[in-house]
Amino acid sequence: MSAPESKSEADPTTALDGTQTNDTALLSPAMAARLRSLAPARVGLRRSGISIATGELLDFQLAHARARDAVHAALQAASLTAALRQSLTGLKFDVIPLHSAAKDRQAYLQSPDLGRKLDEASRQRLQEARTQPFDLSIVLADGLSALAVERHATPLLAELLPALLQSSPELRLAPICIVEQGRVAVADEVAHALPAALAIVLIGERPGLSSPDSLGAYITWQPQPGITTDAERNCISNIRAEGLSYPQAAARLLHYIREARARRLTGVALKDPDPALESRSELQSASQKDIVR
């Protein structure tokens, strides 16, 4: 009995449409280039024999290293505070540095619940800042990518806050809180302690192999620590240069803020804005920037 023949690159393979073809022809170079232009996915990788080419392997290893570094990197809270003050000149706001109950990154990664609570020193700082009820609390948290917060939170707020305070001059903005080793729900405790009716947390999302710096925004009406569920939040994700632009993200946030205050709710009952809203906002922002130039 003869041994089975090994499969070679020239062996016929069944394509998605049922036709027989060679595996090297399953995705043409033109189609691979077209797909790569639409998304940063790894498609149509170059091959060497039955393995991917060395360059493709090295690119994958680099992307993996960047994702790991993003997860373990420490948030530079002092630099972030300085960037906020420099970019948001003309706006009156305080910045409060806080820390979750996770004492270090290892505790944060191994015990997620610790990242959802503040440590005692942070609770005390919020008590001292509790001067009046606020309409909106903004929290910046490192999440799973401090890089995302450091890169994108400041330019996003520079796009959002002037428009928000111009459209709602009566809005009482709480001090901006920067939480190290924080997760999404830590904003619930911040807003509850201040107190603030609406909480927004800008947080680093879990890195992917093509997005180590993706920023997420979560909006919650009247959050209750340990009680509020994810179904009661609205989420805007993939805020970065290669994803959702700052004007688009700011337009969505403005929509959610207005609707949450008017309807006194967030979550599954609050729908996404009309996509045309983002287009108009982006065009208006570009026009304003041209005028400034």
Question: 44 — phi, psi (to 5°)?
Answer: 60, 40
Give the pLDDT confidence of 130-184 residue by residue, as tens digits: 888 999 999 999 999 999 999 999 999 999 999 999 999 999 999 999 999 999 9
| pLDDT higher at 105 or 283 | 105
User: What are the beta bridge partners of residue 136?
Assistant: 173, 198
Helix, strand or coil, per DSSP, at residue 280: helix
Residue 53 binned pLDDT confidence (cut-offs 50, 70, 90) = confident
Per-residue confidence (pLDDT) for residue 50, from 0 to 100: 84
Domain ranges of the chain: 71-292
- Sign of CA pseudo-dihedral 122, 127, 129, 132: positive
CA-CA distances (angstroms) from residue 90 to 97, 158, 165? 21, 11, 12
**Per the structure block, which two tokens stand in for 115?**
């990242």
Give the pLDDT confidence of 70-124 residue by residue, as tens digits: 899 999 999 999 999 999 988 888 999 999 999 999 999 999 999 999 999 999 9
pTM: 0.80
Q: In terms of CATH, what superfamily is 71-292?
A: Ethanolamine ammonia-lyase light chain (EutC) (3.40.50.11240)
Per-residue confidence (pLDDT) for residue 15, from 0 to 100: 41
**Torsion of Cα atoms, 63 then 68 then 74 then 76, to 10°:** 10
